[in-house]
Homo-oligomer: A and B are copies of this chain.
């Protein structure tokens, strides 16, 4: 067999492909780990009533903790599915993209904090607005960072498909920051309505993503 330039380059191309798959896999493991931990830590912030308290009354009184648990759980779940779908289209990564993912995870891993604030301070009229406002600002930041990931990936050709073709899959992402900003501003009308907005957005992404099959 006569070694030609093409023959020589082929194995290295294949190796690079394997390397990239391994790269992407390791980034996904780290990202999935942070998502899985953040979503599971939410439960630690639900207060356990003290011995001596009437348990049923105490649990009923802290209903905002349970509602906040469900809303944050669904929101983190939706973010994870979105990240998952973005990474289905990623065929290679760069060091900058690694760091952008770290920056994306910073507010994601922070979610248990504003969730705890809302849970524990929702029944104080003065604190309620501030707690929900912080919750909303973190949600907006995550939506913005998600778009940063997406834009970087398309501009630096990290995708395995044409950006136009990929666009269909993530059309909703660009609207994320705006939608979360509106739900956040609603806090000045009603903190309860604002939280309902965050819940509604999570359910909306879940239902709107439904028809698309994750594979094939």
Number of copies: 4
Chain B residues with Cβ under 8 A from A78's Cβ? 102
A131 close to chain B: CB less than 8 A: yes
Point out residues on A near B: beta carbons under 8 Å. 16, 19-20, 23, 26-30, 32-46, 48-49, 51-52, 54-56, 59, 69-70, 73-74, 77-78, 80-81, 84-85, 87-88, 92-99, 102-103, 105-106, 109-110, 112-113, 116-117, 120-121, 124, 126-127, 130-131, 134, 206, 209-216
Chain B CB count within 10 A is highest, among A95, A130, A134, for A95
A contact face: mostly helix, strand, loop, or mixed? helix
Chain B residues with Cβ under 8 A from A106's Cβ? 70, 73-74, 77
Closest Cβ of chain B to A207, distance in Å, is 9
Given contacts A97-B214, A99-B209, A102-B74, contact A43 B130 (CB under 8 A): no
